[in-house]
Chain A
Amino acid sequence: MNIRSTKAKGAALTLAAIALTACTDSGKGGISPQDLTDMLHLVMESDRAVYTKQVVNRLAKDEQVIKASEHFMDEKALPLPAQMFRFGAETVAGKTDKFSYSLQSLWPINKQNAPRTDLEKTGLKFVVDNPGQNFYGEETLGDVKYFTAVYADVAVAPVCASCHNEHKDTPRKDFKIGDVMGGVVIRVPMGS
């Protein structure tokens, strides 16, 4: 496993700018896998935060006009932020195999979302132990080599912590806003 870590604060934006410059300058170097995953994560993280704060936290917790529920179809409620994220990941998976992503945690409500590969286990622990830093590495899964990046998934709104703390399947009940609750794992295949 080849592991690198970097300060995330502001780095993602800088890297994105560099990557785009490299892409337009020569067309030879292209975008590095790390730049690519950083940019992808920026989009994911931003959309996720907007949905969590502006939709779920506002409507379900502050204004209390609609519920957010895991069984949103049956209960005519809002999908949970984690479901929204997973549905996006599953939709992407149905359209391309050029990258994939998932939401995982060391304290998963659904045990299928616990880390499985060695890199996932190491990476998730790293982003919990090193706030503000990302984790990058390479791993081989099913004869395919992947560049894998792990980003901290932080409780951005009160509803993140309260819902997880109150869920009967949660293995941890003391989350608070700002805590790292899990991680986003993004993979880019690098060939066999």
Chain B
Amino acid sequence: MGKKTVWIVWMLGVLLLSVYYSFRLFASDDQEAFLIGPATHGHHQIELACGSCHTSPFGGGEVLQSACVDCHGDELRAADDSHPKAKFTDPRNADRLQQLDARQCVTCHREHQLEQTGTMGVTLPQDYCFLCHQDIAQDRPSHQGMAFDTCASAGCHNYHDNQALYEDFLIKSAGEPALKTIAAVVQRSGPALKHPHHVLGKALAAADADGSATGDSILTDWLGSAHARAGVNCSGCHAASPAATEPQTAPIPWTDSPTIATCQGCHAAETDTFYQGKHGMRLAPGLSRTLPPMTPAQGRLTFNPDAAHRELTCASCHAPHSVDLRQAAVESCLNCHADEHSRAFKESPHFKLWQAEQAGTAAPGSGVSCATCHLPRETHAPNGTQRVLVNHNQNANLRPNEKMIRSVCQNCHGLAFAIDALADPQLIQTNFASAPARHIESIDMALRRDGDSAAAETETPNHAQP
């Protein structure tokens, strides 16, 4: 092959590649060709909406940082982040930043490097605490000799969220029994509080239905639903305004398949949190491109093969006409999830409590379903009015799992038991089928230090140090 031919082949190759990638970049929705590696468990659902994180082709790390904060900033603020960026921008920490630039999320959480990604999406070696806190034993002698990788892996500390682990909380909760006398979750708010901006109608009967599905199971399901009780007729969903607050000048066309936007009209808090979790993030309005709903086939856990191609929308878990919350709390989950933890649920003490509550032999709120832990009821009190709503971001209290201690576990269990249980990976796999096999000493250590301090106070009530 002559030199001329080589040049022509090379130029043609370059030209073809340029055309291919230009087409992919500018004219196609499929940008998989630019994916430099699979994204983490938290982002792989939206990894092909590149522009959601890479919001600008210009600029550097600040673009990514801004994208991180846009999605996760509120969550960090709500968790009273123990290591906010503002703590590290002070010039006095310049030497520390040379070791670990904690101002940038990507210092610890690098994307598209799945093979290096550990728990919590951390891509650093596990000694990152040691970089700044290597002399902790001087201040806390009890920490003498502890391994560098135990701080955040032993149920004692988290980098961001320590709401259930801070020392005074440990002391305050130290005496709690493994199982509390009154063990139950708070009841959800009624419709009036749940939908404060909607006028609810009177309960509807079969004769009131304004849809065409008469005499079949749809009508029966609807009549038994909270929708019918709250005066939501067929047209309330099937001919609903996309923006319920705007006056309508023309009839709304009937649709057989209402979308999530219809649900959002009345259930804004639920859909907002649904968009934040792995179930709904592909449908989140802020994505750079429209993605179809998540399916188990795209997930990284173990799922029922039969459910592989089920699409995840509100109606996937909430049978749309019966909106049976009991089904949504257990069976809807187990229809898809088939990992060890999920499969063990129906053999667990939690499920027995759930059955007892459903049978009416146990107090309301005392049963424990999948949703009890993974879609927790949260109390909000805007403007002083208390509302109990279900957080539909099922990942919100799993990163790390100690986040569920206060909102979930402590409804029924004492803090010490909850810390021990959540720090036991085997116990989680068996869905808490037995007592925790290991004990985390954090509460004991806090009590000892508190006792030492009180003793010192008694001995030297006005001890002065220079």
Which residues of chain A have a CB within 8 Å of any CB of chain B?
A: 70-71, 73-74, 89-91, 93-94, 97, 100, 102, 107, 111, 116-117, 120, 141-142, 144, 146, 168, 171-174, 185, 187, 189
Contacts and interface: CB of A to CB of B under 8 A. Distances in A.
24 contacts: A70-B168, A73-B80, A74-B169, A89-B90, A90-B84, A90-B86, A90-B87, A93-B90, A94-B85, A107-B465, A117-B92, A120-B92, A141-B94, A142-B95, A142-B97, A142-B98, A146-B91, A168-B450, A168-B454, A168-B457, A171-B465, A173-B464, A174-B464, A185-B92
B300 interface: no
B89 interface: yes
Contacts of B84: 90
Most buried by A among B91, B93, B462, B466: B91
A102 B93 CA distance: 12
A168 B452 CA distance: 9
Nearest to A167: B453
Contact of B92 (A116, A171, A189): A116
B447 to A, nearest CB: 12
Given A111-B139, A116-B92, A142-B98, A173 B86 contact: no
Contacts of A168: 449-450, 453-454, 457
Nearest to A175: B464
A117 B95 CA distance: 10
A174 B462 CA distance: 6
Nearest to A102: B90
Nearest to A116: B92
Nearest to B166: A71
Contacts of B80: 73
Nearest to B136: A111
A144 B94 contact: yes
Given A71-B166, A73-B80, A142-B97, A172 B465 contact: yes
Interface string B440-464: 0000000001100110010000111
Nearest to A73: B80
Contacts of B464: 172-174
Contacts of A185: 92
Contacts of B466: 172
A116 B80 CA distance: 25
B462 A97 contact: no
B232 to A, nearest CB: 37
Contacts, number: 62
Given A116-B93, A172-B466, 11 more contacts: A70-B168, A71-B166, A94-B85, A94-B86, A97-B89, A141-B92, A141-B94, A141-B95, A142-B91, A142-B98, A146-B91
Nearest to B461: A173
Contacts of B89: 93-94, 97, 100
A102 B86 CA distance: 11
Interface of B: 80, 84-87, 89-95, 97-98, 139, 166, 168-169, 449-450, 453-454, 457, 462-466
Nearest to A104: B92
Decide if the interface of chain B is mainly helix, strand, loop or mixed: helix
Nearest to A87: B86
A120 B454 CA distance: 32
A68 to B, nearest CB: 14
Contacts of A71: 166, 168-169
Contacts of B454: 168
Contacts of B449: 168
Nearest to A119: B92
A20 to B, nearest CB: 27
Nearest to A110: B139
A168 B97 CA distance: 30
B445 to A, nearest CB: 14
Contacts of A173: 462-465
Contacts of B166: 71
B465 A100 contact: no
A43 to B, nearest CB: 19
A97 B90 CA distance: 9
7 closest A-B pairs by CB: A142-B94, A90-B86, A168-B453, A174-B464, A141-B94, A93-B86, A141-B91
A75 B235 CA distance: 47
A97 to B, nearest CB: 7
Nearest to A69: B168
B227 to A, nearest CB: 37
A147 B260 CA distance: 56
A97 B89 CA distance: 8
A8 to B, nearest CB: 22
A91 B86 contact: yes
B61 to A, nearest CB: 15
Most buried by B among A107, A146, A173, A174: A173
Contacts of A174: 462-464
Contacts of A120: 92
B91 A187 contact: yes
Nearest to B140: A111
A100 B94 CA distance: 13
A100 B103 CA distance: 15
A144 B139 contact: no
Contacts of B95: 141-142
Nearest to A170: B465
A93 B90 CA distance: 7
Contacts of B94: 141-142, 144
A141 B465 CA distance: 31
A134 B105 CA distance: 37
A79 B465 CA distance: 27
Contacts of A187: 91-92
A183 to B, nearest CB: 13
A172 B460 CA distance: 12
A173 B86 CA distance: 30
Nearest to B138: A111
Nearest to A95: B86
A65 to B, nearest CB: 18
